[in-house]
Every structure is written in structure tokens, then in C-alpha cells.
Amino acid sequence: MTVQTALRAKVKDARARQAGWVLLLDFLRLLASAEGRARLWMKLAHRDAVHQTSPDTFEDRYPELFDLAAQLRPDAARILSFGCSTGAELVSLRARFPDAKIVGAEINPRSRSIARRKVASDRQIRVVRPREVEGSFDLIFALAVLQREPHKIDAMGVHDLSPYYPFKQFDAAVSELAGRLEHGGLLCVDYSHYRVEDSDAAAVLQPVSKSPANRGALFGPDGRRLESPNGKTIFRKC
């Protein structure tokens, strides 16, 4: 076993035990960069509203999902990217929906500022705080958003997600997003920690049979890890 492998195993074990030195190390890492400080501020200032804290993203990250949504709703006039991060998703959506009005909602102020600069030349795209979202939409995307630091959760070997990201927080977000969908509109959720099928909003959301499976590590409403998750990613409001 190499020194690097041994160190990784030690850190993984410490994360599982929530050892103080690992928590301190994570805190110091956040302080070391502008991105980290923005994430730390977001956790402190918007604790009850934050889902995913990582701003990691890149263009055309979910081509299969984007293409299928474009096939199902090529006429979408208003699109919401919930958790648009630094704007890569907005660019990907514009390539598939050239005439749509697109709103990007982002809680991280640094990511929001970067996204605004990225799409500044497109007058049909707005980047706002989540609480500033208005109106209804034909398409809503929440991709790698309705979860909590998945790599860390996996490294810690978490089997009960409740203390880190309770189901009620996910459920409330899905209900709010479903409430903003037009009749027949599509909600696209991938890499989440819970299934849309288990949410209260499932009563008005019909899974699209040919949509891909949710690729997140999924947990049940009780917070326990699901052995056979079988969650869908695209839902039509009925």
C-alpha cells in the first residue's frame, strides 16, 4: 500500500467518524480560495435553503437528458435552470432552445456573478436568486442540485442521510418547482439524493417512461439508502 493510498484510507475513515481534524481541514480548505469562501458563506447565510454546495459544472454535462427534453418539448417558451451554478447549463440549453426565455436561479453569489457574465450578451437569459424566480415554466431542470456533497457522503459511507440532508428539504423544493410548471410541462431531476416519485408532488407528476434513470445515490424518505432505487429523471405535470 502506497503512502497516498494509506492517507486516503485514513481520511475516509475519519470522515465516517466525523473526526474533528477532518472537519477542521475541510474548513481551512474552504477558506483558502474565493470559491471556497463563497461556499462557506452560503452554508452559513442560507443554511435552510441550500441543497448542493459544490459549484462544479461544465457545458453539455447532460446531453442525453437535454436532447430528450428538447424532443419532448421543442416548443418550450420559458425554461428554468434551478441551480444554474456558473452558467454552463444555460449555454447548453440555449443551443437546444434558441428562442426560449431562460431563467437561471443560483444561490451562490460568486457563481451567480460568473453566470451573469457568461450570458451577458443574451437578452433572453436572466440569472437571479432563487427567491426572485417569478412566473411559470414549460421546462424546469434541477440537475446535480437536490443533493448534499455526494462525494463526501459516499466517502463517509452514510446510510442515513437525514442528519445531513433531510427528505423534507428535498420534498419542499420539488413541490415548489412542480408548482411553477405549466400543465404538460416537464420537470427534469438527475443526480438527486431522493426520488421525485417519493415526493408529495408525485401526485401531479407522471414519469416519462423513456427518460433515463436517476444516477444519484438514492435514499428513501426515512433517510435510509435504497438498495434498488429505480428513480426516473423526467416527469410531466398532469
Q: CA-CA distance, 27 to 38, in Å (whole number)?
A: 12
Query: Superfamily for 63-237?
Result: Vaccinia Virus protein VP39 (3.40.50.150)
Q: CA-CA distance, 141 to 89, in Å (whole number)?
A: 9
Average pLDDT over residues 123-144: 97
pTM, entire model: 0.81
Give the model confidence (pLDDT) of 13-50 as tens digits: 655 656 666 556 665 565 667 665 655 555 555 556 56
Query: Confidence class of residue 180 from pLDDT cuts 50, 70 and 90?
Result: very high
Give the model confidence (pLDDT) of 195-238 as tens digits: 999 999 999 999 999 999 998 889 999 999 998 878 999 999 99
Per-residue cell: 210: 423513456
Q: Where in the chain is the domain with CATH 3.40.50.150?
A: 63-237
Report the C-alpha dihedral over residues 193, 198, 199, 201, rounded to 10 degrees.
Answer: 130
Average pLDDT over residues 73-95: 96
Percent share of the chain, pLDDT over 90: 64
Please name every residue paired with 79 in a beta bridge, in sequence order, or none if there are none. Answer: 102, 139
Residues 234 and 72: beta-carbon distance below 8 Å: yes
